[in-house]
Amino acid sequence: MLYTIDILGTIAFAISGVLVAFDKRMDLFGILIIAFVTSVGGGTLRDLLIGNTPVGWMKDITYTYVIIVSAIFAILFRSKLDYLRTSLLLFDTIGIGLYTLIGVEKGVNADLHPIICIALGTMTACFGGVLRDILCNEIPVIFRRETIYATACILGGISYFLLGGLPIEKNMVFVISGLVTIVIRLLAVRFKIALPNIYRDRG
């Protein structure tokens, strides 16, 4: 189940990266690089922090194949992905929902404190997108005041531990926790929900 979630997250983030690269009118090489960085950036940071080296995608060539195939798919069927920004939001949101769970579970397997596990899940979900946006000369989504992004990951991670204490099948814990992150992010964008602004405009 964990491996399947990781692959699905890789696909979602690869497509997200391709859409951003297309928006920036990059060449084929640039598109592949952005797809790759978006997909494995967060997981690479996570694995380095917990001492899991070589990092996951280096030990399993499947991830490289999945990224390449996903990028080619997005390139070929970009015209079918109606409304570029809506598609980008969808794939990016699915990606953070899935990758949050992966990071949290990796932390659990490393016997880390739940708070550290949630932090790992948030980094896993967000860091690839941060690298993508920086390379594309954009303000990373996680730092934009008007969006709820990392907060959704944190709440998804918290729900993972809350549900884990209930008599619920592990697979259902994964599904529900992932949906919590995804739904919170989508609702925040749909209804323009943001964290309070702690700064006051100076007159």
Residue 198 lies in a domain: no
State how many domains the chain has: 1
- Does the residue 200 lie in any domain? no
109: in domain: yes
| Residue 47 lies in domain | 2-190
Model confidence, pTM: 0.89
- Asked if the structure places residue 195 within a domain, the reply is no
122 within 8 A of 158, measured Cβ to Cβ:
no
Dump pLDDT digits (tens) for 62-113: 999 999 999 999 988 887 765 555 667 888 899 999 999 999 999 999 999 9
Whether 140 is covered by a domain: the verdict is: yes
What is d(CA 11, CA 100) in angstroms, rounded to the nearest whole number?
A: 15
134 is a domain residue: yes
Residue 93 in domain = yes
Specify if 70 maps to a domain: yes
For residue range 181-201, what is the model confidence (pLDDT) as tens digits?
999 999 998 888 888 766 665
140 cis-preceded (ω within 30 degrees of 0):
no
- CA distances to 12, 53, 75, 106, 111 from 140, rounded to whole Å, are 18, 27, 23, 25, 31
